[in-house]
């Protein structure tokens, strides 16, 4: 490739320069398409009037009023409460998901037993069906469990976590098992000669080695849970327990056009942590994605 570039004639150089200029032009267009809604919403969030119709790109009397209203703990829109709910649910779910799936993936990767292949297939196939399709069954299931254990019933964070955890195995076990397989088995065997148990090998040797995939699975689960709307909407009942996504939806569902500015501020604040995580870890996440995970 490089030797061809060296021998290019002046006309080819000019052609190359034009094509590069075209690329930058397209880049500007593409970025405009990608960011126009975001910029527009940012401007809306600074508009103290907060109506949809009155909004201009550069708001007159720009102020942080909308942000102040949300963060000051307005009773109708307990934004901070919702933010906290989302954060702790997503964190708890991703930590538990990583533990559960890494244990399973270790077994799939390191043990040989009858029915292993079928079990792996089953784990994957069960999780092909998205939760949306089982909403009625899940609702009923939590209602019934809630008769005996209210902390895991309808309208409880415990029940929601349980449903989330029921859906973490599939693709995550596959991703992790693939990574575990790439860790040489010699490591386990030499440790075993030294008298280590499987648990010690897993926890002290393998787990630190597979940290990249653990981070990817953890982050993707966190983002997925944080952004979940439907399950939280159907299974939570009390506005105090809402997650941010459900809260924001109800927030604007009533008086949409009047609350536009406040929604814009809330949406941007809600999105910010996720966007930052993505941008910081984009290389690792892309690696995980290309192995077949789809944003959920």
Pick out residues in 163-222 that bind other proteins (CB under 8 A).
Answer: 163, 165-169, 173-174, 178, 181, 192-193, 195, 197-198
Q: Which is nearer to other proteins, 209 or 289 (CB)?
A: 289
**Nearest distance in Å: CB 38, other proteins:** 6
- Residue 153, sorted as left (phi over 0), alpha (psi -120 to 50) or beta, turns out to be beta
Those residues with Cβ within 8 angstroms of residue 104's Cβ, 6 or more apart along the chain or in another chain: 123, 169, 173, 176
Q: How far is CA 38 from CA 180, 230, 254, 264, 271, in A?
A: 39, 23, 22, 9, 11
Based on the shown chain and the rule CB under 8 A, indicate whether residue 39 belongs to the binding site for other proteins: no
Least separation in angstroms between CB 64 and other proteins: 19
The token pair at 122 is: 């089953």
Of 63-102, binders to other proteins (CB under 8 A) are 99-101
**Contacts of other proteins in 138-167 (CB under 8 A):** 138, 140-141, 144-145, 147-148, 162-163, 165-167
Instruction: Using CB under 8 A, count the residues that bind other proteins.
Output: 103
Is residue 193 packed enough to be buried (19+ CB in 10 Å), middle (13-18) or exposed (0-12)? exposed
Asked if residue 150 lies in contact with residue 156, where contact means CB atoms within 8 angstroms, the answer is: yes
| Burial of residue 253 (number of CB atoms within 10 Å: 0-12, 13-18, 19+) | exposed
Give me the least distance between CB of 151 and other proteins, in Å please. 13
Q: Could you say which of 9, 61, 255, 279 contacts other proteins (CB under 8 A)? A: 279
Over the window 244 to 263, marking each residue x when it contacts other proteins by CB under 8 A and - when it does not, the resulting string is -x--xx--x---xx--x--x
Site membership for other proteins, residue 49 (CB under 8 A)? no
Residue labelled with tokens 């150089």: 13
Beta carbon of residue 278, minimum distance to other proteins (angstroms, whole number): 4
Under a CB-based contact definition with an 8 Å cutoff, are residues 225 and 295 in contact? Answer: no
132 makes contact with other proteins (CB under 8 A): yes
Closest CB to other proteins among residues 40, 84 = 40
Q: In this chain, which stretch among 15-23, 66-74, 76-84, 208-216 interacts with other proteins, using CB under 8 A? A: 15-23
- Exposed, middle or buried, 152 (CB in 10 Å: 0-12/13-18/19+)? middle
In the window 107-126, what residues touch other proteins (CB under 8 A)?
A: 107-108, 111-113, 116-117, 119-121, 123, 125-126
């Amino acid at each position: 490739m490089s030797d061809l570039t060296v021998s290019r004639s002046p006309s080819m150089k000019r052609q190359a320069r034009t094509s590069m200029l075209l690329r930058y032009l397209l880049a500007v267009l593409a970025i405009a398409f990608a960011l126009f809604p975001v910029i527009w919403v940012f401007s809306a969030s600074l508009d103290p009037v907060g109506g949809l119709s009155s909004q201009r790109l550069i708001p007159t009397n720009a102020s942080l009023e909308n942000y102040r209203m949300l963060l000051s703990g307005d009773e109708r829109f307990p934004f901070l409460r919702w933010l906290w709910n989302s954060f702790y649910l997503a964190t708890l779910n991703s930590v538990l998901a990583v533990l559960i799936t890494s244990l399973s993936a270790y077994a799939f990767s390191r043990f040989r037993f009858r029915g292993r292949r079928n079990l792996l297939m089953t784990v994957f196939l069960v999780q092909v069906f998205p939760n949306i399709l089982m909403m009625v069954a899940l609702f009923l299931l939590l209602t019934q469990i809630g008769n005996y254990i209210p902390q895991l019933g309808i309208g409880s964070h415990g029940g929601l976590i349980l449903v989330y955890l029921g859906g973490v195995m599939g693709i995550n076990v596959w991703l992790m098992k693939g990574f575990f397989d790439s860790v040489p088995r010699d490591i386990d065997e030499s440790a075993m000669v030294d008298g280590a148990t499987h648990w010690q090998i897993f926890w002290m040797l393998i787990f630190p080695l597979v940290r990249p995939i653990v981070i990817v699975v953890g982050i993707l689960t966190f983002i997925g849970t944080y952004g979940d709307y439907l399950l939280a909407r159907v299974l939570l009942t009390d506005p105090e327990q809402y997650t941010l996504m459900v809260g924001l939806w109800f927030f604007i569902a009533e008086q949409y056009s009047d609350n536009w500015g406040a929604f814009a501020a809330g949406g941007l604040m809600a999105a910010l942590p996720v966007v930052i995580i993505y941008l910081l870890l984009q290389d690792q996440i892309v690696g995980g994605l290309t192995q077949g995970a789809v944003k959920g």
